[in-house]
Structure 1
Amino acid sequence: MSDDQLIHIVDDEDSVRKSASFLLRTSGFETRLYSSGTAFLREAEHAPQGCILLDIRMPEMDGLEVQRELNARGVMMPVIVLTGHGDIGTAVQAMKAGAVDFLEKPFEKEQLLDAIATAFARMGNDDHSGAARHDARARIDALSPREQDVLRGLVRGHPNKTIAYDLGISPRTIEVHRANLMGKLKARSLSEALKIAFAAGLAG
């Protein structure tokens, strides 16, 4: 097993660490487990390269704080954020800080493996970012002006009701626009839509 197939699992719940580790090991990955963000940070700068599965809700330091500290230290390993308490604002913060993906627990195996595949692709192919940006821009351009407005609201971390108020339309209409833009972007989740928006450089 090469180092680039290593997954660092950072979660304060023992059951989550063990179940995620079992899932990943049976899928061909090597894992290292950490019971807190501070425990991981003690080793991060000298740890072998790999992908980081980082829980949001942890004692001492939450996942977003750990992510900011990793960025400050120049630790460039890709991060997938995990949470059982997902909300738009948290997803936006994680993605703006460079997270590869944002998954809500309990997550599906296929969803996790897809996110990890994206993470390793990012590690191994710096030229991919230019192609990804071009593809993301093309998808954004296919949205109607109103759908782009709704997506900008999501990028700002706003819930549907706030976006509706800002645009002067009903929350139900926002739901329709949001469903349409998700379909046009071929995004299966909010995190996928946000990734496309950030890759395209869409400002909030």
Structure 2
Amino acid sequence: MPPLRAIACIDDDSSVLEAMGYFLRSAGYSAFAFASAEDFLNFSDISALYCLITDVKLGGISGMQLLRQLAASGLAVPAIVITAFDDEALRAQSVAAGAIGFLRKPVHEGELLGLLQTCGER
């Protein structure tokens, strides 16, 4: 079982994963990095996660498809969507897919911390 406040980060850009992992650990979270949604789906303790942070555009299953798949499977993990493409339609799709937040890259650390606090209130 992952430690309390464990966060899974999914992004196909290794530099984003590295930076996100460093930031999350410095903020007191545990971070698990995945280069694809498919890799993440092989993680054994999805339901024990504090939060999931996923990019929208991934090779293979997209971040949106992943959120829909998790919801259909009954795995309610608070999710934050990050993307380099900020548009209202994408934001609305994220919320409709179950995301608690939508952030544009580069991610502002204060906004991310605020959303992560929201995860703990659920």
Which bin holds the TM-score, normalised by the shorter protein? over 0.9
2:11 matches 1:11: yes
2:10 matches 1:25: no
- What code does the residue aligned with 2:119 have? A
**1:94 corresponds to:** 94
- What code does the residue aligned with 2:51 have? C
Q: Per the alignment, in what secondary structure is the counterpart of residue 112 of structure 2?
A: helix
**1:74 corresponds to:** 74
Number of residue pairs matched?
Answer: 120
What is the TM-score with the length of structure 1 in the denominator? 0.56
**1:55 corresponds to:** 55
Identity over aligned pairs, percent? 29
Q: Per the alignment, in what secondary structure is the counterpart of residue 3 of structure 1?
A: coil
Q: Per the alignment, in what secondary structure is the counterpart of residue 106 of structure 2?
A: coil
Contact 1:9–1:32, Cα closer than 8 Å, also in 2: yes
What is the TM-score with the length of structure 2 in the denominator? 0.92
Partner Cα separation in structure 2 for residue 62 and residue 98 of structure 1: 14
Q: Per the alignment, in what secondary structure is the counterpart of residue 103 of structure 2?
A: strand
- Give the strand-richer structure, 1 or 2: 2
Spell out, residue by residue over 1:125-153, the C-alpha distance to the aligned partner (whole angstroms, 9 max, x if none): xxxxxxxxxxxxxxxxxxxxxxxxxxxxx
1:12 deviation in Å?
A: 0.6
The root-mean-square deviation of aligned C-alpha atoms, in Å, is: 1.4
- Divergent runs of 4+, >6 A: none
1:169-188 paired onto structure 2 within 5 Å: none
Partner Cα separation in structure 1 for residue 3 and residue 96 of structure 2: 27
- What code does the residue aligned with 2:31 have? T
Partner Cα separation in structure 2 for residue 62 and residue 97 of structure 1: 12
Q: Per the alignment, in what secondary structure is the counterpart of residue 68 of structure 1?
A: helix
Partner Cα separation in structure 2 for residue 100 and residue 76 of structure 1: 11
1:49 deviation in Å?
A: 2.4
Structure 1: state its 5+ residue gaps: 123-204
- Give the helix-richer structure, 1 or 2: 1
Partner Cα separation in structure 1 for residue 98 and residue 5 of structure 2: 20
Contact 2:8–2:49, Cα closer than 8 Å, also in 1: no
1:109 deviation in Å?
A: 0.8
Q: Per the alignment, in what secondary structure is the counterpart of residue 113 of structure 1?
A: helix
Q: Per the alignment, in what secondary structure is the counterpart of residue 38 of structure 1?
A: helix
- What code does the residue aligned with 1:99 have? A
1:182-197 paired onto structure 2 within 5 Å: none
Contact 1:4–1:120, Cα closer than 8 Å, also in 2: no
